[in-house]
Chains A and B, each alone.
Chain A
Amino acid sequence: MTKRFLTGGLCLAAALMAAPSARAMDAISVAADSCAGCHGTDGRSLGTMPAFHEKKPAELKQILREYKSGKREATIMDRIVKGYSEAQLDAMVDYYTAKK
């Protein structure tokens, strides 16, 4: 009983503190989250892969379009962007560059 009471109290305390809010979970955000394997959670890459959480949306959108058209040289992104429409790519950029 005491333990349960304590748990209840702790839970209330936890609920009163700023609890983490749920992240977006829709067609675009879940598709975009699959990019995080290479670019880090929320695009915060730590290594040699480009990070994109601090990039400007317009710049990122332009880069992805250039990978798609073949204008920009790539080692791997040319093969990946072709799996998405331009509208999808733009929406994924908006997801990553939105202030969180």
Chain B
Amino acid sequence: MTNISRRTFNGLLGAVGAASTFGITGCFGAERVVVVGGGFGGATAAKYLKRYNPSLDVTMIDAEKSHFTCPFSNTVLAGMNTMSFIERKFDALASKHGVKVVHGTVTMIDGAAKKVITADGQSFAYDKCIVSPGIDMKWGALPGYDEAASHIMTHAWKAGPQTVLLHKQLEAMPDGGHVIISSPGNPFRCPPGPYERASLIAHYIKTKKPKSKVIILDSKDDFAKSGLFKEGWEKMYEKHLEWVPAAKGGKVASVDAKAGVVATDFDKFKPSVANIIPPQTAGVVAIKSGLADKSGFCPVDRNTFESTQVKDVYVIGDSCIADAMPKSGYSASSQAKVASAAVVASLKGMPAVPFSAINTCYSLVNPDYGISVAAVYEVKDGKIAGVAGSGGVSPKGANAQFRKKEADFASGWYASISQDTWG
């Protein structure tokens, strides 16, 4: 500010009274928080930062103009919904909550200079930064599977063009064709996701291409909600879905996308459609910014989500190490509230609000058959753990009415979390 403008400004202030009376610090010298990512974690953080302290200057940066959610993207694959159903826009974050939304690709969070740099050369200074970049694929970890291969054999583990491509491939598949889904080892985004995907593709096949089959080649011998999924599969998809665990040779050892081959140590498959969900890491921007450790994910103070490696940077969602909390949209959103409160408290010089978080997650085995897992979390001995006696999966052996209710609640869950995050 030049001397002249400062004088002019002070004159204005004099006309209306002391600055503090009007909370003018909210405009001049407002503390700046930059949020990296506009998914479940980032958008919730941006909204709740403004809720907990409306005078903060909050900027949210995302590489896309809108966010396509992974939750319910499997319904798009199965032809139950279109892409617009899973598209979330950022307008309300700006118009209702006063978040500055920036369209740009973050290339670096410079913890020393306390600024976020985007690919087009812009620089955003921050007092605190919340980073929620989701996951990135660990290209090459599965031999033969790199970014170029993903344009032939999709991962579709980030919703968007990959979802569209896999849906088209399923539609183009002849009746009698086989679909292979390769499911990775832990940890990865959305642990029940591959199995819901297999279920809804099986539902599509059973309805539209009954001679076809979906085969899950698994790097593991067990998976999230496995008892409930298997119960549903036995009832509905005996002819249409097969799960091959690692112990029975299910682990995919390599792929050759151009040749259309998926290989295990024992077999070679040439499916009509291959969906390869590869091993994953924290979003590359988190790794490049020095936030990740050797595991490929980001260690944080479990009470606040502040990085243990870079001060004043908080990492939430799929990129962070959150112990018992699965990498899910709900987890990210719940962590965002804890981190936002911690940021607001820290900027005010107050102690952090105690950690409390939830995860709830629904999966559809068919459009009218829902199953769920839930838990309440606390920090115990420095790690995030489920509160004893809480949580778990919905009961096995429940009747059709119960499953329908859970399917209806899955839709309600989606409507509510969409509103709570972006609305």
Residues of A within 8 A of B (CB): 1, 4-5, 7-9, 11-12, 14-16, 19-23, 25-27, 30-31, 33-41, 44-49, 75-76, 79-84
Contact = CB atoms under 8 A, between A and B. Distances in A.
Interface string B34-69: 000000000000001011111100000000000000
Chain B's interface size range is 35 or more
B interface: dominant SS: helix
A12 to B, nearest CB: 6
B374 interface: yes
A36 B413 CA distance: 10
Contacts of B411: 47-48
Interface stretch (B99-107, B120-128, B168-176, B355-363): B355-363
Contact of B420 (A1, A16, A37): A37
B12 interface: yes
B374 to A, nearest CB: 5
Given A30-B356, A46-B419, A75-B405, A38 B413 contact: yes
Nearest to B329: A37
Interface stretch (B196-204, B264-272, B337-345): B337-345
A38 B412 contact: yes
B140 interface: no
Contacts of A26: 353
Contact of A75 (B9, B358, B394): B394
B390 A83 contact: yes
In the A-B complex, the 10 residue pairs with the smallest Cβ-Cβ separation, listed nearest first, are A83-B376, A11-B27, A48-B412, A47-B415, A83-B390, A31-B356, A47-B412, A49-B412, A15-B22, A83-B387
Contacts of B409: 48-49, 75-76
14 contacts: A4-B9, A5-B8, A14-B26, A23-B51, A37-B416, A37-B420, A46-B415, A48-B409, A48-B411, A49-B412, A49-B415, A79-B391, A80-B376, A82-B391
Nearest to A77: B374
B389 interface: yes
Contacts of B397: none
B412 A1 contact: no
A30 B416 contact: no
Contact of B375 (A41, A45, A46, A79): A79
B1 A35 contact: no
A37 B22 CA distance: 34
B394 A76 contact: yes
B398 to A, nearest CB: 8
Contacts of A48: 408-409, 411-412, 415
